[in-house]
Amino acid sequence: MIELLIVLAIIALLVGLLIPALNTVRNIAKETKQKAQFATIEMALAAFKNDEGDYPPSVWPLPPNPGSDYCGAQKLAEALLGWDLLGFHPNTAWRADGLDAAGGPGSYDPAHTRDVNPPPSGDGIPDTFDERKGPYLELATVNAFRLIDLFRPNSISSLDPDTFVICDVFGAKKITMVNRIDPVTGQPITVTEKAGAPILYYHANTSGKVINDVYRASDDDALVVTKQQDDGRLHPLANPNGAYQFFYDYIRDPKITAKPWPYRPDSYILISAGADGLYGTGDDIRNFGQ
């Protein structure tokens, strides 16, 4: 009996040592996968800039009112995948509803009002489809989800719940979506996928002379607040105290001592919430710094 207890104790000790090691390996693998996703996004953004002359905007809120529900992360998804995941329209007004600057169907045409040959004589495909570019990312492998699928409706602050964001690889949340309606039973057929936290995107104002002119903390603030309200945890990046001083300390390049200055002042920054799902903590994966 004593020998058996000793053996069990040794096994328990080994398991106790093994589990943290496995978790460490798993986290390293996820971090590597996340960095690979960032590398893919950066190549896609380079292709987008080559076509359009600049990286996608991220400014939020943007007057007039149609821009108030469309933040940087949503615009990243539109640029690389399209407002409806069918490709980017060069004449976009960067509106959450997919319409043009005047509120008409000049870009994505959600109501298909620009269809040259509507059914039954035509195929029903709007002519805007032929004007698209991309998608710049492979839709089958990119983690694109609607806000309404990611978050509880009452936690979505001021953003359009039907727009897409690109999520990181940590996959902490199971998402069940309706794929199609069964033609026999009339019941919805669902699919389940794992989704991470939305990737935050901030476009640099290259003419900025101070750190808070180069990058605006508000560009993704509504999304960070939505995530905070949804999971009920404090996200340091959502802290507005001191004019978002935490955010500017977070993106500051410590090598530059003459004045506060951000990493990547000539392009953009990407932020993943990391394994803990919290924006602004030590395990965040970023395309800048450590």
Residue 282, Cβ density class (10 Å: 0-12 exposed, 13-18 middle, ≥19 buried):
exposed
Q: How large a percentage of the chain has pLDDT more than 70?
A: 86
Asked if residue 25 has pLDDT above 80, the reply is no
Residue 52, Cβ density class (10 Å: 0-12 exposed, 13-18 middle, ≥19 buried):
middle
User: What pTM was computed for the model?
Assistant: 0.85
Asked if residue 178 has pLDDT above 70, the reply is no
Phi/psi at 121 (nearest 5 deg)? Answer: -75, -30
| pLDDT of 119 | 58
Residue 235 CB neighbour total at 10 angstroms? 19
| pLDDT of 239 | 77
Asked if residue 157 has pLDDT above 70, the reply is yes
Which bin fits 242, alpha (ψ -120 to 50), beta or left (φ > 0)? left
Let me know: does 205 contact 214? Beta carbons within 8 Å. yes
More confident residue, 186 or 155: 155
Identify the band that residue 124 occupies on the pLDDT scale cut at 50, 70 and 90: low
Average pLDDT, integer, range 156-167: 91
More confident residue, 140 or 207: 207
Identify the sign of the CA torsion 113, 82, 71, 169.
positive
Four-point Cα dihedral 44, 47, 51, 55, nearest 10: 60
Asked if residue 29 has pLDDT above 80, the reply is no
Asked if residue 74 has pLDDT above 70, the reply is yes
Rounded distance between C-alpha atoms, residue 135 and residue 82, angstroms: 7
Task: Tell me the C-alpha to C-alpha distance, in Å, between residue 203 and each of 180, 208, 268, 277.
Answer: 36, 12, 4, 22
| pLDDT of 90 | 92
Rounded distance between C-alpha atoms, residue 201 and residue 286, angstroms: 10
Average pLDDT, integer, range 169-183: 76
Asked if residue 167 has pLDDT above 80, the reply is yes
More confident residue, 68 or 208: 208
Rounded distance between C-alpha atoms, residue 9 and residue 5, angstroms: 6
Give me the residue spans of the domains in the chain: 36-80+137-290, 89-132
| pLDDT of 136 | 95
More confident residue, 255 or 22: 255
> 227-268 pLDDT, tens per residue?
999 999 999 998 777 778 999 999 999 999 999 999 999 999
The distance from CA 271 to its chain's CA centroid, rounded to whole angstroms, is 9
Identify the band that residue 101 occupies on the pLDDT scale cut at 50, 70 and 90: confident
